[in-house]
Structure 1
């Protein structure tokens, strides 16, 4: 197995209680990192911590619950977890919501549109703002956001989500530029459909096994995240890495 150089590193993952975020926390722990997770639900946090600690009994794994779109809550939770980790080298922002899918622009309530931006765009901004002073003191520090292919392509009925993930792409570029001189790399990983509870709920299905297109596993996306955090990826900065099986390269123009 390739040595990614992450043993002993301190990592904080928002949205770490389920789906991609939980897989990311698991992957970092597998590499020997000390891991903190943040989730909104105390019950899901308890379950996630039990699973991670059971699978990695020798690892340092801590967690806290808060609303990722509340600056005061995010700052307090981050300070607490970083104190337990003894510092911070890597931050991953995976918390997100899809909003209701299938509604046309005239059917999307303004409050719902704002809520999706609040979690998916404001959340990653606040996560970094709270963690930045610690990352500045970290080793080979990185910030990786979980975006989506929906930041590059669009389908009807996903207006709020498309807008939020498009913002994540530009947020990645802007942060990588701003933090370049401080030695903090910023990238995002942008998958298409991933087999997560949120995806199954959004598609209204119990299983993604028989869909007519490929579906990633959370662990597949987690591998990309830990790879970007590795010092071996030092030249990769400001990149929004599409993980969509190449579908973005295929023209849908009817000619």
Structure 2
């Protein structure tokens, strides 16, 4: 088996939303192992503090800060605190999201559920991007990676609010790339498939099987499958890549 050469992000200053567990925790750990200095935020305070402590014990520069994407003031405060800790900013990974609409038909969704999903997944991503921009443009390597979902590419049923929110994140990525590009900041998105993490434990086994059977690479998707593309998009190797969507789903959806 060939050796995997890790992406080098030595000294890069990166913030991650929703990093306390699951895919977000995998991003935080992979960034730290690639040499980045990381501040991540979440509502899961115990999990966040435990992850940060474990990574610091392993010699990495990682900090946790509380973050509630549903509260605009919390987003602004998190970004400012993270930048103060890091002494600047080179990268932002917008990972935090909620599902809430899983298993319900469009006719069964409540307005409150719809609004909650949109406020976190869409408005929260927008606010994090704009809060980070003044700091990213001061970096020669400013980069944003938005975590979308391949559910928005194939139209997953019984998941409408989430699917719509991730479709909005994809569209937002294109627009922000044009606006932020004038200031030297790249904005890209990845669209993971159904990944085996705590947040997908509620998904019926039939949906897991549907993904596995439909992938060109017929196996379960795990967090390690997704971290590499994020590291690449934050790295110098991707400095001329912006406004792009990269499906990361083992070939379940192909462009």
TM-score after normalising by structure 2 = 0.90
Match of 2:237 among 224, 232, 243: 232
Note the 1:1-255 alignment, pairs <5 A.
Answer: 2=5, 4-54=7-57, 56-57=58-59, 59-201=60-202, 203-204=203-204, 212-213=212-213, 214-249=219-254
The CA deviation at 1:79 is 0.9
- Structure 2, unpaired ranges of 5+: 214-218
Distance across 2 between alignment mates of 1:153 and 1:101: 16
The CA deviation at 1:34 is 0.6
Aligned to 1:253: none
Number of equivalences: 245
TM-score after normalising by structure 1 = 0.90
Deviation string 1:65-123 (CA, Å, 9 cap, x unpaired) is 12112121111121112111111000000001111312111111111011111111111
Partner-residue secondary structure (3-state), 1:11: strand
Partner-residue secondary structure (3-state), 1:152: helix
The RMSD of aligned alpha carbons is: 1.9
Conservation of the 8 A alpha-carbon contact between 2:140 and 2:184: no
Deviation string 1:209-235 (CA, Å, 9 cap, x unpaired) is 998443221122111100111111122
Partner-residue secondary structure (3-state), 1:17: coil
Partner-residue secondary structure (3-state), 1:92: strand
Distance across 2 between alignment mates of 1:12 and 1:156: 32
Partner-residue secondary structure (3-state), 1:215: coil
Distance change >3 Å, CA 211–CA 173, structure 1 → 2: closer
Deviation string 1:129-164 (CA, Å, 9 cap, x unpaired) is 221111111231100011100121113201111101
Conservation of the 8 A alpha-carbon contact between 1:151 and 1:168: no
Conservation of the 8 A alpha-carbon contact between 2:37 and 2:86: yes
Conservation of the 8 A alpha-carbon contact between 1:192 and 1:215: no
Partner-residue secondary structure (3-state), 1:113: helix
Distance across 1 between alignment mates of 2:157 and 2:149: 16
Conservation of the 8 A alpha-carbon contact between 2:211 and 2:252: no
Distance across 1 between alignment mates of 2:49 and 2:133: 27
Conservation of the 8 A alpha-carbon contact between 2:148 and 2:190: yes
Deviates more, 1:62-71 or 1:163-172: 62-71
Partner-residue secondary structure (3-state), 1:145: strand
